[in-house]
Chain A
Amino acid sequence: MSLVMWPWPSSLFFVLGVPTLQETIQLDEAGLVQALQRGDETVFVAVMDWYSGSLLRLAMAYVPSRAVAEEVVQETWVGVLEGIGRFEGRSSFKTWLFRILTNRAKTRGIRERRYEPFGLPGSDSDGDEGPSLEDSLFVAEGSGKGHWVDPPQGWEPDTPERALLSKECRTAIEEAINRLPDNQRQVITLRDVEGVSAEEVCNILTISETNQRVLLHRARTKVRRVLDPYVRGGHT
């Protein structure tokens, strides 16, 4: 019997997709907030398990060390408990949660001299100095102006899952993200790594849609360049 049963959960995930938080706790957004307000421990643990990894990753884009980022995540959940009674649903719970984190992370980042808010002297509004990284990929002058210097080739292996099997490749990507200017790192972490919608990213980081796309583009371009040598034909 067990032999017949064991592949079921994973095959069901394959067919139905990985369950969302709402499906896991079987509550909609309003139900989730009410459960937290009345102090339902099971729901609190499920919500904390669901979001803490993402919160930690985002906190690390503001503060200098993982230890401080973990403290920020703790402070965020304490903030949730303090504020949940007054939560009115003007934004989604997720946006509200991440906004608490960014506010606390900024305060900690400034104190630890890691984070410089937008608009301070010396901090570029899009987080980059000098010409775009992409410029060097194209012919600058003459009849071929605007064409590829070295036309991009197809990449192998054919799936990202297989590329990430190489620890070296994974480390290179993570280091590339760590080296990004803070605001690019925050955007790419939320939008691509954590899969948050563009609209929510704008609300969480309080930036415009255009600014979100510019920062995202710059960040993706840099990560693509780092990934390139690992996935060019023949290298795994």
Chain B
Amino acid sequence: MDKNFKQQLMGYMAGNFTCQEVAALITDYLEGSFTLSQRLRFQMHMGLCFACRNYLRQMKYTVATLRQLPSEPVPVQVKEELLKRFRTWKQEQSSQNTRLNSQ
């Protein structure tokens, strides 16, 4: 078979995407911003390309890992200070309301 034709055929079967194009589009794919035809072309490439499947898994793994990072601890002093502010604010609110009601 003519080498060029074979390459063209493989390219067509792989959705006419190169691996580089697929890699650049992974976030668009994961964020669900593809049209139906884009998604089909992307998935055709994935079906044929082991390396890109691995890359997609790696990106999903990266996102899942980021989601698992421990939450940022907020110092107790900050929370206590805020609670104090809240109580002062509430007092001011209720004294304002009393003033308004008595007018």
* Cβ-closest chain A residue relative to B54: A152
Residues in A with CB closer than 8 Å to B55 are: 152
B71-103 CB contacts (< 8 Å) to partner A:
71-75, 78-79, 81-83, 85-87, 89-90, 93-94
* Cβ-closest chain B residue relative to A60: B72
Select one of A78, A153, A160 contacting B61, CB under 8 A. Answer: A160
Question: Chain B: interface residue count, which band?
Answer: 35 or more
Shortest CB–CB separation between residue A138 and chain B, in angstroms?
Answer: 4
A166-199 CB contacts (< 8 Å) to partner B:
170, 173-174, 188, 192-193, 195, 198
Asked if residues A132 and B24 are in contact (CB atoms below 8 Å), the reply is yes
Given contacts A134-B20, A151-B50, contact A173 B65 (CB under 8 A): yes
A-B contact count (CB 8 A): 131
* Cβ-closest chain A residue relative to B65: A160
Shortest CB–CB separation between residue B35 and chain A, in angstroms?
Answer: 14
* Cβ-closest chain B residue relative to A174: B69
A/B interface sample: 9 pairs, CB < 8 A: A44-B86, A73-B74, A81-B89, A138-B18, A138-B20, A155-B58, A164-B65, A213-B27, A220-B27
Select one of B27, B66, B67 contacting A217, CB under 8 A. Answer: B27
Residues in B with CB closer than 8 Å to A164 are: 65, 68-69
Q: Is A104 an interface residue (CB 8 A)?
A: no
Q: Is B62 an interface residue (CB 8 A)?
A: yes
Cα A231 to Cα B68 in complex, Å, equals 15
Interface size on A, residues (CB 8 A): 54
Asked if residues A146 and B18 are in contact (CB atoms below 8 Å), the reply is yes
Select one of B20, B26, B78, B82 contacting A146, CB under 8 A. Answer: B20
Given contacts A74-B82, A132-B24, contact A52 B62 (CB under 8 A): no
1/0 per residue B6-28: CB within 8 Å of A? 00000000000011110110111
Q: Is B1 an interface residue (CB 8 A)?
A: no
Residues in A with CB closer than 8 Å to B79 are: 48-49, 52
Residues in A with CB closer than 8 Å to B28 are: 213, 217
Residues in A with CB closer than 8 Å to B18 are: 138, 145-147
Residues in A with CB closer than 8 Å to B78 are: 52, 70, 73-74
Residues in B with CB closer than 8 Å to A132 are: 24
Shortest CB–CB separation between residue A183 and chain B, in angstroms?
Answer: 15
New A-B contacts (10) at CB < 8 Å, excluding given A152-B55, A193-B67? A39-B93, A41-B90, A74-B81, A135-B20, A137-B20, A152-B51, A154-B54, A164-B65, A213-B31, A217-B28
